[in-house]
Every structure is written in C-alpha cells, then in structure tokens.
C-alpha cells in the first residue's frame, strides 16, 4: 500500500485547529471540509483521464477530461459524510456510494449495517472517505467490500492515521491484487486502550455531528 502523508503548512495548520478540544462543531465541520479538498488534490493525482481537443478562442489545444466510468466516492457513514462535500468540490462528476459501518466498541471490529453501491464496480476508481484510520478494521472491511465488487483502484482518504491501522491494512490487503493508496493529513503516534488515536482529535463523528 502506498502511504502519502500530506506535507503542507496549510494542512498542518488546519489539522492543528481541528485537534483542539475547544474547536466547536461548526468550525470543525468547516475545517474538515477544507482539509479534504486539499487532500483530494493529492489523492487524485492518479485519477484516470483521456485526451480531448478543446477549441480556444485562438486555436485547438490538446487537453484531458476525466475518463468514463466516473470515479466513485464512498464515504463511510457516519463520520465519512463530513468529508463528502470537500471531495465533491474537486470531483463534481464523481458518483457517490455509501457504506454504513460501525465499530463494535468491545471487539473493535467493523460491522456493515447499510450499503448503497453499484453491484458491479469493474473498472472503477474508488475514493473511500473515513476521517480516522485507527485499528484499520473499518477501512480494511470497506476496501475488501469494494474489491469483491470489482473495483480495480482504491484510494483511502483520512484526516488522521495510526501506525497500527496502517500495519493492519498492509497485512490484510497483502493478498489483494488491486492497487491501494492511503492519503492522510497526519500520521499519529499510537492507539490507546480504547482504540482512540493518540494524540488524535477525539471521536470524529461526535465532533462533526454531536454525541447522538
């Protein structure tokens, strides 16, 4: 798996404010949205394009447009929803599929409770959105789900990642014959006993949407 930790002062600045426990929900949502747009720029370096001609007021120029089928963006409910608009800002023609996954807080394993995705993802580039790569259980299950449906190129975008989550993804995806990349705004130190990223930013879903 190719891991890219975005290294840019604006990303670091926004991530620092996002981490701050005093940052309120509206500010947190706005910053997460802005961060994802910056990450989307990095994450779409490999997006497939095809050559086209474009007629300028002066001459015909060679250009590109996104290839068909369009990329598929897959936010993992619920916290991944807070990343969707930021992604769509750069990829407005992408289709959007949803995966509802929740972490069993005792086993820390991912359970799928909802799914709205095309049955056939053959030839599709997929961008999976999940703010926190903690144990890696959710992302590994989501990526496996997409590969089973035929996706042939997957990029996961997270705000933060823990080394334990990256290690788990690498081991679980070792047998998958599909290129997988991870783009994240920060790589943190570790997980604590409750499976939270340290220093992290707390529960991303709660900070985006409140404790419900």
Quote the DSSP letter at residue 30: H
Which listed residue (14, 126, 200, 208) binds ligand URA by CB under 6 A? Answer: 200
Residue 196 near ligand URA by CB under 6 A: yes
Q: What is the set of active-site residues?
A: 103, 107, 203, 206
Using the rule CB under 6 A, is 197 a contact of ligand URA?
yes
Segment interacting with ligand URA (CB under 6 A) among 52-60, 141-149, 171-179, 200-208: 200-208
Interaction with ligand URA in 122-161: which residues (CB under 6 A)? 132, 134
Q: Judge whether 6 and 185 are in contact, CB under 8 Å.
A: yes
Q: Which residues contact 92 (CB under 8 A, 6 or more apart)?
A: none
83 is a contact residue toward ligand URA (CB under 6 A): no
Q: Among residues 178 and 196, whose Cβ is nearest to ligand URA?
A: 196
State the DSSP H helix or E strand holding residue 164, giving kind and residue range, or none if neither: helix 163-172
65: β partners: 50
Residue 36 interacts with ligand URA (CB under 6 A): yes or no: no
Pick the closer one to ligand URA by CB: 35 or 134: 134
Q: What whole-number distance in Å separates Cα of residue 202 and Cα of residue 48?
A: 35
For the chain, the 3-state helix, strand and coil shares in percent, each to the nearest 5, are 35, 30, 35
Which residues contact ligand URA (rule: CB under 6 A)? 79, 132, 134, 195-197, 200, 203-205
């Amino acid at each position: 798996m190719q891991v890219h930790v975005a290294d840019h002062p604006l990303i670091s600045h926004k991530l620092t404010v996002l981490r701050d426990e005093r940052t309120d929900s509206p500010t947190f949502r706005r910053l997460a949205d802005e961060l994802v747009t910056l990450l989307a720029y990095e994450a779409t370096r490999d997006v497939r394009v095809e050559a086209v001609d474009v007629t300028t007021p002066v001459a015909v120029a060679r250009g590109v447009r996104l290839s068909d089928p369009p990329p598929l963006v897959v936010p993992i409910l619920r916290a991944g929803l807070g990343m969707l608009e930021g992604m769509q800002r750069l990829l407005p023609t992408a289709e959007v599929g949803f995966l509802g996954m929740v972490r069993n807080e005792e086993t820390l394993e991912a359970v799928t409770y909802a799914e709205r995705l095309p049955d056939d993802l053959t030839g599709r580039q997929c961008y999976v959105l999940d703010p926190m790569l903690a144990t890696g259980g959710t992302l590994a299950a989501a990526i496996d789900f997409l590969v089973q449906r035929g996706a042939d190129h997957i990029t996961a975008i997270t705000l933060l990642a823990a080394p334990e989550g990256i290690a788990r993804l690498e081991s679980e995806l070792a047998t998958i014959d599909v290129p997988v990349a991870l783009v994240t705004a920060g790589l943190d130190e570790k997980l604590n006993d409750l499976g939270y990223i340290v220093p992290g930013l707390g529960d991303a879903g709660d900070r985006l949407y409140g404790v419900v």
